[in-house]
Amino acid sequence: MDNVPTWDQLRKALRLVSYDYWAGRRITREAARLNGLQHFFSGVECNNGHIAERLVSNGMCVDCTKIKMRHDSAVKRERRNKA
């Protein structure tokens, strides 16, 4: 069982041979900034594995930003309820 690929290895291998759904949506950060857009799409996974648009302002993944905002608002709500 030493030669069994991991799930991540299989997923990346399949992505290389499959149809690229996102190909028409790719735009670089610089091109998006020059066109006055707020988001760009590179098609590259973020550190958390999301393949999503990113913010031009800071390069963060939109999905990660949503998760962070939900967490921050929950923390603020807890603090407010304790006081």
In a domain, 20, yes or no: no
Q: Is the pLDDT assigned to residue 48 strictly greater than 90?
A: yes
Q: Are 46 and 64 in contact (CB under 8 A)?
A: yes
58-68: average pLDDT: 95
Residue 44 lies in a domain: yes
Q: Is residue 10 part of a domain?
A: no
Over residues 59-83, the mean pLDDT reads: 94
**In this structure, is residue 31 part of a structural domain?**
yes
**16, part of any domain:** no
Strand partners, 27: 41
Q: How many domains does the chain have?
A: 1
pLDDT grade, residue 19 (50/70/90)?
Answer: low
Q: What is the pLDDT of residues 8-18, one digit of tens each?
A: 887 777 766 55
Query: Is 61 within 8 Å of 69 (Cβ atoms)?
Result: no
Which tokens in the block code for residue 59? 């390069």
Helices (H), 1-83: 7-17, 29-34, 62-82
For residue 53, being part of any structural domain is answered with yes
Question: Can you name the residues that pair with 55 across neighbouring β-strands?
Answer: 39
The answer to whether residue 30 sits within a structural domain is yes
Q: Tell me, what's the pLDDT at 28?
A: 92
Quick check: is 62 in a domain?
yes
